[in-house]
Amino acid sequence: MSITITQLRTYPIKSCAGLSHDAAAFSHAGLQWDRHWVMVDGDGLFMTQRQYPRMALIQPSLTENHLEIRAPSMPDISVPLEAAPSQAIPVRIWKSDTLGQDEGDAAAAALSQFMGLPCRLLRTHRSAERLANPELVEAWSGRNAEWAAGFPQRHAFCFADGFPFLICNQASLDELNRQVSASGEAPIGIERFRPNIVLDGLDAYDEDHLAGLQSGDMILAVVKHCTRCNLPNVDPATAQVGIEPGRTLAVQRSFETGILFGVNAVVSAAEGVLRVGDTFTPEYAI
């Protein structure tokens, strides 16, 4: 049985619009430039579409040397991909502490104008070392030692919620949309769930039972089911907040740990490239 990558997606600025790729470099930190930047409010708290749906309209793009940022009626912003060292600014993402670096007053002024409140743009500081939950990684390694011996234990990443990779299954979305459509609402796109990797070849919700995905010597270790908030209810094209898919997920995908859709992962290889069309062999939890 083989599983195929059908989409690769990154979100350079946490909770802003995403980018689609035919190929993407990766490291233990995830896909290159994914959640490398974050917006913070006037109190220094990180911002997301959960509280500020308008962030969905902020569209980043990547050139060879710059992150370009556009939004309706906002001055264009351009920041270099490689920045000189600067003061480290403490940032907390949920319960996890890390470090950022301010991208300057011009970016802050444009984003503040668009959002209608004071905010600043931070990039990941080069001295930051925010680790994917070591207890979960260690527990995964213990459960899967027979086929994943020597799996690395430290996975430093940027401003994603909790893990470097979020993986979604196209068949699960298809089943969810069948239920959403039956309720009289329009089907939704996979981009609502903000995955990094979209897979084809699994049955609906078969990802719940994965231990990992293997391709040659590379392993994507599925260390956690992804719990969901109201963010997928935000239409990425309009920033309008609806009732789906949250209403259907609350009925169909509620578990003791929360509402689940997709899985979080870490990778064995220190670096490499993923491509649409790449195939993996699934390993299932015992």
User: pLDDT tens for residues 90-116?
Assistant: 999 999 999 999 999 999 999 999 999
Residue 37 CB-half CA count within 13 A: 32
Q: What is the pLDDT of residues 173-206, one digit of tens each?
A: 999 999 999 999 999 999 999 999 999 999 999 9
Query: Which helix (H) or strand (E) segment is 251 a member of?
Result: helix 246-252
What pLDDT, on the 0 to 100 scale, is given for residue 19? 98
Full-model pTM:
0.97
To the question of domain 3-33+130-284 being in CATH 1.10.4030, the answer is no
CB 196 within 8 A of CB 9: yes
Query: Which helix (H) or strand (E) segment is 21 a member of?
Result: strand 19-21
Rounded to whole angstroms, how far apart are CA atoms 140 and 143? 5
Residues 6+ apart with CB under 8 A from 96: 130, 162
Rounded to whole angstroms, how far apart are CA atoms 191 and 42? 29
Q: What is the pLDDT of residues 234-267, one digit of tens each?
A: 999 999 999 999 999 999 999 999 999 999 999 9
Show me where the domains of the chain are located. 3-33+130-284, 37-124
- pLDDT bin (cut points 50, 70, 90) of residue 83 is confident
CB 197 within 8 A of CB 24: no
DSSP secondary structure code for residue 13 in this structure: B
Q: Encoding tokens for residue 125?
A: 């500081």
Q: What is the mean pLDDT of residues 136-142?
A: 97
Rounded to whole angstroms, how far apart are CA atoms 108 and 64? 23
Residues 6+ apart with CB under 8 A from 56: 16, 17, 49, 234, 235, 236, 237, 238, 239
